[in-house]
Amino acid sequence: MFGYEFYLDPSRCIGCQSCLKACEECETHRGVSMINFDFIDRPDGIATAAFVCFHCEDPTCAQVCPADAIKVGDDGVVQSALKPRCIGCANCVLACPFGIPKLVPEYEQMMKCDMCYDRTSIGKKPMCATVCPSQALAYVKPDEIAALRREKPVNTFYFGEQKIVTKVYMMAPAETDFVSVDVMDYTWEPEDAYAN
């Protein structure tokens, strides 16, 4: 849909999992949800976050695909793996900084969100955005989101030194211009991690 953008706001997610179910309903991949649904800190809290594919401008998943199975369309949507090409090597699964692609072992195929291409290409909203009651997943025009939210949509991410610009926006505090993830934080292990 022209002029519409996808906005993610994990802070609005209430954990209803409607998006998961709505995504599963799709007839192109019935029963397999393309939503990445996370419990942020399950032992200590109930916070959840639902993510769709961020549709990077220069997608790492596609760059590492040895079978040329992941393509970026004219509209910037990073398509799911092409069925005849995907060899199920999971390169994309490992490479994606957001952890979006999922290897479905039953099909030996990578499957990921393609922003409901069958719907958005004919002027309908993505399934998840239509059902999300708190609009943590929203597919609206930029001026609408600016009018309704205090947060600022950003689509620039830093993973260490890798800069990623995406099609999907993340709602971030108003003073931020980008989201930075210190990847070394996650790989670092304390010296005594294996002590016991």
Partner 1 sequence: MQTKQQKTPLWREEFSVFKNDERYVSRRQLTKFLTLTSLAMFAGNIWILVRSLWKGKAAGLPGVAIARAGEIPVGGVKLFQYPVQGEQCILVRTAEETYAAFSQKCTHLSCAVYYSKESQDLVCPCHEGHFSVHDGSVLQGPPTRPLPAVTLQRRGDELIAIGMTNTGAD
List residues binding partner 1 (CB under 8 A): 58-59, 62-63, 65, 68, 70-74, 161-163
Q: In terms of CB distance, is 25 or 118 closer to partner 1? A: 118
The minimum distance between CB 71 and partner 1, in angstroms, equals 5
**Residue 54 CB neighbours (<10 A):** 24
Q: In terms of CB distance, is 42 or 163 closer to partner 1? A: 163
Q: Do residues 93 and 80 lie in contact, with contact meaning Cβ atoms separated by under 8 Å?
A: no
| Rounded Cα distance, 156 and 56, in Å | 10
The minimum distance between CB 130 and partner 1, in angstroms, equals 27
Tell me which residue of 168, 185, 176, 178 sits closest to 56, measured CA to CA. 168
Q: In terms of CB distance, is 53 or 65 closer to partner 1? A: 65
Q: In terms of CB distance, is 4 or 159 closer to partner 1? A: 159
The string of DSSP codes covering 56-123 is BSS-HHHHH-TT----B-TTS-BPPPPTTT-----HHHHH-TT---EEETTTTEEE-----HHHHTTT
The minimum distance between CB 79 and partner 1, in angstroms, equals 9
DSSP label of 11: G
The minimum distance between CB 88 and partner 1, in angstroms, equals 18
The minimum distance between CB 162 and partner 1, in angstroms, equals 7
User: Which amino acid does the sequence have at 10?
Assistant: P
The minimum distance between CB 100 and partner 1, in angstroms, equals 15
Q: In terms of CB distance, is 47 or 72 closer to partner 1? A: 72
Q: In terms of CB distance, is 14 or 89 closer to partner 1? A: 89
